[in-house]
Amino acid sequence: MNTNMAVCIAVIAKENYPLYIRSVPTQNELKFHYTVHTSLDVVEEKISAVGKALGDQRELYLGLLYPTEDYKMFRKLHNSFTDVMCNPFHNPGDTIQSKAFDGIVSGMMVQTA
């Protein structure tokens, strides 16, 4: 069992609505939604802190919200997200329905046999 596996992955639009959210196991979905939504508080704080301190530095990774996350996971997810955004048929702001993205997310999630 790999401890770096995720249980919930969400991509949030800058208006704070979920572009993509998926979690395993599914029976806890609601709880994860609440958790992700609440964590936006911390994300907002981090963003405003980054904005103040670093100006226009292009570091996208905000760091860990809790010490269980993994940087590589972010890179992988972000690359896939970039691919989705580059799709000319994707309308930015719409929820993500890409199969490729789904696949990447599945690969990062805990496998529930």
Partner 1 sequence: MRKKIFFNNNIPLPPLELLHFFFFALFTSLYTSLAQQLPREPMEWRRTYGRAPKMILLEANFVQFKEELLPKEGNKALLTFPFLHIYWTDCCDTEMYKSSVKEDMMRWQNSLRTHGSSDWVIIVVETNDTKKKNKTNILPRSSIVDKIRSDFCNKQSDRCVVLSDPLKDSSRSQESWNSLLLKLRTLLLMSFTKNLGRFEDEMRTLREKRTQPGWSFCEYFMVQEELAFVFEMLQQFEDALVQYDELDALFTQYVLNFGAGDTANWLGSFCAPVRNWSGLLLRRPIDMEKRDSIQRGEASLLDLRSYLFSRQCTLLIFLQRPWEVTQRALELLHNCVQELRLLEVQVLEGALDCWVFLSCLEVLHRIEGCCDPAQLAANCSHTVGLWAAAHTGTVLQSPYKKLKEALSSVEAFERHYLELSHAAMEMYQAIGRLRSARLVGKSLAEFYMRKGDPERAETFLQEALKSYVSEGWSLPVTHTRRQVAECQKLLSKTEDYLQTSALLAGDVNLTTDERKHFCQEILSFTGKSGDQSHKVTLSMGVFAQLTQLKFHPAAASVHSGAVLQVELTLRCLMPVSVRIQQLVASIHFEVDHGGTHGRSKGAQRRTHPGTVVFRQSNSSAGPPSSAGAGPSLELDEIQDRSPSDNSLNSTGVICKNTHLLMRRHDSNSPPDTPNCISPPTVGIKEGAQMLKVQDVTLEPGNNSITFTAPPGTYTLRQLCATVGEVQFILPHIYPSAQYEVYSQEPQLTVEPLSEPLLAGLPQKVKFTLLTGHYTVKKGDALQLSNTETMPILPSTKLVGESTLSIQSSEKVTSISLPPAPPYHTLEFQLEVLCIIPSGADRPANERLTNGEVRHRPRSYSHPDTPMTAIDQRMSIDCPWSIYSTLLALTFYIPFKTKHSLLSAGNRQYIQVCVQNVSDVNFALAEVKLTEKQHASLELQSLNTKTQQLLCCKHSVFCLWEVRWKDDLPSCLQCVFSANFSPLSQDISAYKPFHYQFQLERVTTLYSVKAEIFPPAGEQRCRSGVLCGLEVCITRLTEPAEGEIAEDSKTETDGPKTTKLMYEVADSSSNWAVCGKSSGMVLMPMTANATHKVQIEVMPLFAGHLPFPKIKVLKYLPHTAAVAIQPDPDSCVENDSLSLLDKTLDDQGDTASIRSRGSVHSVGSGDQQQKGVAMPRLEPFSPGQVFNHSHACQVLVLPATDDHIMEVNAT
Site of interaction with partner 1 (CB under 8 A): 1, 3, 13, 15-19, 29-30, 33-34, 37-38, 40-42, 44-45, 66-67, 93-95
CA distances (Å), origin 92, targets 21, 26, 62, 82: 16, 27, 22, 11
Q: Report in angstroms how near the CB of residue 47 gets to partner 1 at its nearest.
A: 12
Comparison of 34 and 71: residue with beta carbon closer to partner 1:
34
Residue 54 buriedness (CB in 10 A; 0-12 / 13-18 / 19+): exposed
Q: Report in angstroms how near the CB of residue 91 gets to partner 1 at its nearest.
A: 10
Comparison of 42 and 79: residue with beta carbon closer to partner 1:
42
User: Which helix (DSSP H) or strand (DSSP E) does residue 109 occupy?
Assistant: none
| Chain centre distance of CA 60 | 12
Q: Report in angstroms how near the CB of residue 52 gets to partner 1 at its nearest.
A: 14
